[in-house]
Amino acid sequence: MEGSQPILHFEKLTKRFPGVLALNEVSFAIEKGEVHALVGENGAGKSTLIKIVTGVYSKTSGEIFLEGKPIHFLTPHEALRNGIAAIYQEFNLIPALSVAENIFIGHHFTKKNFIVDWNRLREEARKLMNFLEVDIDVDMRVRDLGVAKKQIVEIAKALSLNARVLIMDEPTATLAQKEIERLFRIIRFLKNQGVTIIYISHRLEEIYEICDRVTVLRDGRHVGTHSISEVKIDDIIRMMVGREVVEKFPRVSHTIGEEVLRVENLTRHGVLKDITFSVYKGEILGIAGMVGSGRTELLRAIYGLDPIDHGTISVRGEAVSIGSPLDAINHGIALLPEERKTQGLVLLLSVLDNLGLPLLPILSQRGFVDDPKLKEIAQKMVAHMNIKTPSLFQKTMYLSGGNQQKVVLGKWFARNCDIYLFDEPTRGIDVGAKTEIYHLMNKLIEKGSTIIMVSSELPEILAMSDRIVVMREGRIVGELRRDEATKEAILQLALGRREEYARIR
């Protein structure tokens, strides 16, 4: 009978890594056809649970039941064959192949003599795109698709394998508003088709929009499973962090000093158009806008990562030429990149070495590194940011996604710069740690630094910025003072049209 027994059921599921108890006797059930949120702080065990279900990791003890039968998949492939698919942030697609090839890789339609039936394959891929009501050319190479479309290709791939359980690990972290809406539409649609969805996210507002129930993990333990309709967001936060989080945005006021950075008529053909603005000592300047509006590109241009065609950058009143990140660093400018896995972290190195990398030039005297000093600073960073790691010597590849991000952040906070460019500083970071990051930002400001922060999280940008500039299509389309900035005002500027704004709401 449908609905009579849960589709997935965990019983005392336990996973031990060297030095870490990642899951500690976790028991709960996921019902057939529901959208089930899985939430918890960074390092709580969410990804580990998913990876055990899908055969990426093996469990230490406990049981998992799929429709009442115990399962123990040894590979993701085996999980897939049994109808369980997971979509991670690092996609499992092959960039050089087409959309259609990626969808059907491993289960090609063959004609006689094992020849791949290309026409049939493309036809089936097209049918899937129609089914999902998305417009993606199945002959395009996957490498030419943006993140949102790659994700849809992954979903199509899972559906082509008749997945009954679809797991999404932070699917909206890098999506624009419209893309999120499309994803939600697909999720609702799949739910109507009877697909069960497990949804991991740090954006708690989202789970109220699409999830039926929520399970909270804390330190590897199951804290509770509730109907979304019967828990408030503050209850979920309390369950996640084990205490009351009163102050989500601990913004302190301070005096703003002289001009530190001025950008004039900055232009990069096709990307940035005639950008002019200044930032001041002790100021947090927020840059708002839709994904793709040129915010990241602006930071990259200032940091010397991308060449500019026209315009000037002045630091402390002097026009400077920034041709590379090294030039930027020499002028006291630091960039926290958006893509942290690839740009910010050496996964094979330890937490200590990663935190220490930017400090090496400061701490090494005549080639000798002051090791105890390095350890002391790193230890402080780990404590400050609540980085969950068994020791300073753990390789960062073994940390949870959010804790890796904290290490990258820690690197930048530890160095001595005075102009910080932050691109989505709290993406993928849990509620409690976000507050820590805001505290650290306040500290930077107090010591006289300047922060330019690109953020897609409106509550964050509203609460933390002294001033907000809004970008659209490579231009600055408006500037709002702290006292006049509202969510509505930002969205109207960012979208450019009132009707569009009304629709998105």
Please report, as ranges, the residues that interact with ligand ATP according to CB under 6 A: 17, 20, 22, 40, 42-48, 388, 398-403
Residue 196 DSSP symbol: E
DSSP string, 56-98: SS--SEEEEEETTEE---SSHHHHHHTTEEEE-SS----TTSB
Q: How far is the CB of 240 from Mg ion (least distance, A)?
A: 14
User: What CA–CA distance (Å, rounded) separates 95 from 98?
Assistant: 8
Residue 264 main-chain phi, psi, to 5 deg: -125, 125
User: What CA–CA distance (Å, rounded) separates 200 from 30?
Assistant: 14
Q: Which is nearer to Mg ion, 85 or 453 (CB)?
A: 85
Q: Which is nearer to ligand ATP, 42 or 296 (CB)?
A: 42
Strands 310-315 and 318-320: antiparallel
Q: How far is the CB of 54 from ligand ATP (least distance, A)?
A: 13
Please tell me whether residue 450 adopts helix, strand or coil conformation.
strand
Residue nearest to Mg ion (CB): 47
Which of ligand ATP, Mg ion, none does residue 42 bind to, with CB < 5 to 8 Å depending on kind? Answer: ligand ATP
User: What CA–CA distance (Å, rounded) separates 68 from 383?
Assistant: 43
Which of ligand ATP, Mg ion, none does residue 102 bind to, with CB < 5 to 8 Å depending on kind? Answer: none
Which of ligand ATP, Mg ion, none does residue 211 bind to, with CB < 5 to 8 Å depending on kind? Answer: none
Is 396 a binding residue for Mg ion by CB under 5 A? The answer is no
Is 401 a binding residue for Mg ion by CB under 5 A? The answer is yes
Strands 368-369 and 221-227: unpaired
Is 404 a binding residue for Mg ion by CB under 5 A? The answer is no
Q: How far is the CB of 467 from ligand ATP (least distance, A)?
A: 31
Q: How far is the CB of 366 from Mg ion (least distance, A)?
A: 42
The site that binds Mg ion (CB under 5 A) totals a number of residues, namely: 3
* Segment interacting with Mg ion, rule: CB under 5 A, options 41-49, 144-152, 221-229, 385-393: 41-49
Identify the sign of the CA torsion 318, 322, 327, 333: positive
| Contact in structure between 166 and 195 (CB atoms under 8 Å) | yes
Q: Which is nearer to ligand ATP, 407 or 490 (CB)?
A: 407
Q: Which two tokens stand for residue 381?
A: 């960073």
Is 47 a binding residue for Mg ion by CB under 5 A? The answer is yes
DSSP alpha helices (H): ranges in 242-305? 295-302
| Contact in structure between 249 and 460 (CB atoms under 8 Å) | yes
State the angle between helix axes of 118-131 and 147-160 in degrees (0 to 180), rounded to the nearest 10.
Answer: 110
Q: Which is nearer to Mg ion, 47 or 449 (CB)?
A: 47
Q: How far is the CB of 47 from Mg ion (least distance, A)?
A: 3
Q: How far is the CB of 397 from ligand ATP (least distance, A)?
A: 7
Q: How far is the CB of 250 from ligand ATP (least distance, A)?
A: 22
Q: Which is nearer to ligand ATP, 262 or 427 (CB)?
A: 427
Cα 335–336–339 angle (5° rounding)?
120
Which of ligand ATP, Mg ion, none does residue 476 bind to, with CB < 5 to 8 Å depending on kind? Answer: none
Q: Which is nearer to ligand ATP, 217 or 272 (CB)?
A: 217
**Closest to 64 measured CA to CA, from 85, 50, 43, 45:** 50
Q: Which is nearer to ligand ATP, 20 or 195 (CB)?
A: 20
Residue ranges in contact with Mg ion by CB under 5 A? 47, 400-401
